[in-house]
Amino acid sequence: MTEHRSRLRGLVVTGFSAGILALLAACSSTPEDQNSQAALDKLYADAKADIEAGSYDRAIKTLERIEGRAAGTLMGQQAALDMAWAQYRSGERTAAVTTLDRFIKLNPTSAAMDYALYLKGLSNFNEDLGLFGRLADQDISERDQQASRDALLSFQQLVEQYPESKYSGDARLRIDYITNTLAAYEVHVARYYYNRGAYVAAANRAQQAIQEFQRAPAVEEALYLMMLSYEKMGLKPLRDDAERVLRKNFPDSAHLAGNASKKRAWWRLW
């Protein structure tokens, strides 16, 4: 009987010790570090998979978490750029520009700066110029062109600072297109004012197009509108100056011959 009780006490002590050890082991273990490289790699892989699947909203939320947890690291930078791309692809172009502005401010020496500038230009480019055709028949004389100008600045900065970038070739094409489009827009507004008898406004807007976009095809009509506007205002010296410049730069101008096409959508460049 005494031996049985002693054995029982031994089992109880042994069981109690095992329980204590298990409890201590459980207390000493910690949850997985959400900021560990392994955890971040897993999140990034999930975000990339969502982007490839077109699940941009979910990818953006994941990338926001990564950017916050990996701030100041290369992964944080990559997460910001991928987030901007996902925002752009999902149509959230204003959010994409905001993300890129933050990236550019925080990472001025990043090796991916050329891509950031390109994507920023692309976001503004699509947001504004894509609407030109649908607005052709509307009164847009006071339409804000800031997004187009912002796109132009981004592409110009890219080409000037990173001329050898793989994005610079496409940026140059977009610079030409935006320049021609903005010039055509200014001439459209000048024509709008001229047709309504606002000759001072017409001359000023045409002059603005000439000063800002000297190589754009629309300069030809801008000079012609200046000539007509000054004639209407009785300013013969200015009228003659505009005609002289028009003849010198566009000697075969259909406007001078009176053969200019009557109507063409202002936003069509070809």
Residues 92 and 123 in one domain: no
What is the average per-residue pLDDT within 237-261?
Answer: 86
Residues 218 and 264 in one domain: yes
Report the predicted TM-score, pTM, of the whole model to 2 decimal places: 0.74
CATH number of the domain within which 220 lies: 1.25.40.10
Assess whether pLDDT exceeds 80 at residue 210: yes
164 in helix, strand or coil? coil
Decide: residue 115, CB within 10 A, 0-12 exposed, 13-18 middle, 19+ buried. Answer: buried
**Better-predicted residue by pLDDT, 24 or 206:** 206
| pLDDT class of 71 with cuts at 50, 70, 90 | confident
The lowest-confidence range among 8-12, 107-111, 159-163 is: 8-12
| pLDDT class of 32 with cuts at 50, 70, 90 | low
What is the average per-residue pLDDT within 1-7?
Answer: 48
Q: Does residue 176 lie in a domain region? A: yes
CATH number of the domain within which 93 lies: 1.25.40
The tokens of 174 are what? 């977009």
The winner for highest mean pLDDT among 17-21, 36-40, 105-109, 123-127 is 105-109
Cβ-contact 111, 138 below 8 angstroms: no
* Tens of pLDDT, residues 158-167: 999 999 999 9
Cβ-contact 269, 184 below 8 angstroms: yes
Residues 124 and 91 in one domain: no
